[in-house]
Chain A
């Protein structure tokens, strides 16, 4: 179970890293005649059509979003050309061949598969940065509380308890919505990671505080102090390593929670601008029941989120720990 989780997580990371090579089309390229196009059906080699091929889609009715396969001209897949793993022939000068849309097209006629891969980069990068920030903040504040004790400990513990008790979604929602609605992508990235870190640190800090508070009574700390180690050295070199397991577990649990938080915020229109592909902004385009019913491939990012959460659940359950708290 644990191994399966690791593999799945590694796969998602690899795929997002290799997005430019793996995606058959650029993520921002629009195909005006293929709005809401369904996923391309790839056919095996046949007598009159060598190699893996597909039939290009012809728009029948723009209003009804109806397409028809053009069976006369099979389009052959090109492997390892134009710096992509697989694509269709895009020879300069000639007429452009129809695109390979593995997961269909979105309302602007963009390749959902390509956007999913590129979106993974933003979504995962945000989640990783926010997780690191939350763990770092939690480790510093938690170990300060555990090491100092007394009033500082009381103050920090009360604050973190208060943040912990509140439903995280609403804290994130409130903090995000009091900021300006439209922000440049870089600012949004920083703002969201700051908000997520703010919501995430108390979970980390509480555990670290407990571990540091009990460890500092141990003999090795007294020994360290006896040879003249200062508080900084004691905490970083001796006490924090004791909390390493806790920090790793919390990081694993926070990662999917933050991916989900980004998706939720972007879904309700408080996340990234919709020119930036992320799993959340992609889901936002699937925001009506009729659309979801007719073009379910627009829910592809939901599948990606499911895979990441599943991977983490496999990892954590395989290690025999408590299940993921489903609160972003």
Chain B
């Protein structure tokens, strides 16, 4: 077990390092740099000073080495755009994205899994209805759901169409702030959750309908286990394995989808920050965002492994030794 954890941890750190290094090198190799932000009439001295401030006057390997050495001590450099340390910026943006992603994944799970069990084990009008709805949601990627929800919000005024807090929510009490965020959260969370819930529904439906045909379910039925228990205790538990494997992928899909949702719904998350940083060539901010994204991915795959191990005792025996 400790060896397993240590190996996973080492791999995760390597992965995060590779991703952020790639982002750093890509930004450095791109035409143009931070000093474009100074405009075409900037004084050459000023340009040189800014370039020196972000180590752009050094060679690429030297800058990379310097950055890696500092990053090892949790100093991720300064952001040009915000004129602040990257660490704080990325931490706040990541927290916002995490709130969004966790809400979306919880919503999708609560809706998708039970409906999947329903459509996987029963036939009838309700199943047909759910299947139709799920097919439509599956065909609405986050770009479309967020535009649709913004339209609904703008027309009905039920929800604020964008942002994480209201414009006038400055210096309010903590509880008022939380309430304000909670009012802004449903739109982007729903936009992310709709296609995800449909994906969960489809996968759960397939997995359960396969599990119901297993001989051990037949055996349980022969022992006189009532149908409801048969589905929940026997078939569903066996089907969990394929669902758990998807959760790790879902984190990646959520991160991917969250970019456009954050952009459209003006949610100040990691995706927006990364986009701003990339466009401005804010080199250390790009690397910092990529590192945080890598952390999310690594976390997702560890969670998926743990869930898998929890769902399937056979796997636990094998991989934890």
Contacts and interface: CB of A to CB of B under 8 A. Distances in A.
Interface stretch (A66-74, A186-194, A208-216, A261-269): A261-269
A323 B252 contact: no
Given A170-B256, A328-B256, A289 B150 contact: yes
B241 to A, nearest CB: 15
29 contacts: A165-B297, A166-B19, A167-B253, A173-B275, A173-B278, A174-B23, A174-B26, A174-B278, A174-B290, A177-B30, A178-B26, A178-B30, A179-B31, A180-B32, A264-B143, A264-B259, A268-B275, A283-B147, A289-B150, A290-B154, A293-B151, A293-B155, A296-B155, A302-B144, A305-B144, A306-B139, A309-B141, A317-B135, A326-B257
A166 B16 CA distance: 11
Contacts of A306: 139-140, 144
A286 B147 contact: yes
Contacts of A174: 23, 26, 278, 286, 290
A323 B199 contact: yes
A158 B253 CA distance: 21
Interface in A285-313: 286, 289-290, 292-294, 296, 299, 302, 305-306, 309-310, 313
B297 A327 contact: no
For chain A, the bracket of interface size reads 35 or more
B278 A167 contact: no
Interface residues of B, number: 54
B136 to A, nearest CB: 7
Contact of A167 (B18, B29, B196, B252): B252
Interface in A74-100: none
Contact of B260 (A169, A175, A299): A169
B138 interface: yes
A325 B256 CA distance: 12
B256 A169 contact: yes
A286 B18 CA distance: 37
B297 A260 contact: no
B151 A292 contact: yes
B288 interface: no
B143 A327 contact: no
Interface in A262-281: 263-264, 267-268
Contact of B153 (A167, A289, A310, A322): A289
A302 B147 contact: yes
B120 interface: no
Interface in A157-174: 162, 165-170, 173-174
B242 to A, nearest CB: 10
A283 B202 CA distance: 29
Interface of B: 15, 18-19, 23, 26-27, 29-32, 135-136, 138-144, 147-148, 150-151, 153-155, 161-162, 195-196, 198-199, 202-203, 206, 249, 252-253, 255-257, 259-260, 263-264, 271, 274-275, 278-279, 286, 290, 293, 297
A323 B141 CA distance: 13
A299 B147 contact: yes
State the main secondary structure of chain A at its contact with B: helix
A313 B139 contact: yes
A132 interface: no
Contacts of A327: 252-253, 256-257
Contacts of B135: 310, 313-314, 317
Nearest to B15: A165
Most chain A CB inside 10 Å of its own CB: which residue of B31, B144, B155: B144
A302 B257 contact: no
A310 B255 contact: no
Given A260-B143, A306-B144, A165 B252 contact: yes
Given A306-B144, A317-B135, A326-B253, 5 more contacts: A169-B257, A178-B27, A267-B143, A289-B162, A322-B202
Nearest to A283: B147
A326 B195 contact: yes
Contacts of B297: 165-167
A324 interface: yes
Most chain B CB inside 10 Å of its own CB: which residue of A179, A314, A322, A326: A326
Contacts of B141: 260, 305, 309, 326, 328
Lowest 5 CB-CB distances: which A-B pairs, in order?
A293-B154, A178-B30, A289-B161, A310-B139, A167-B256
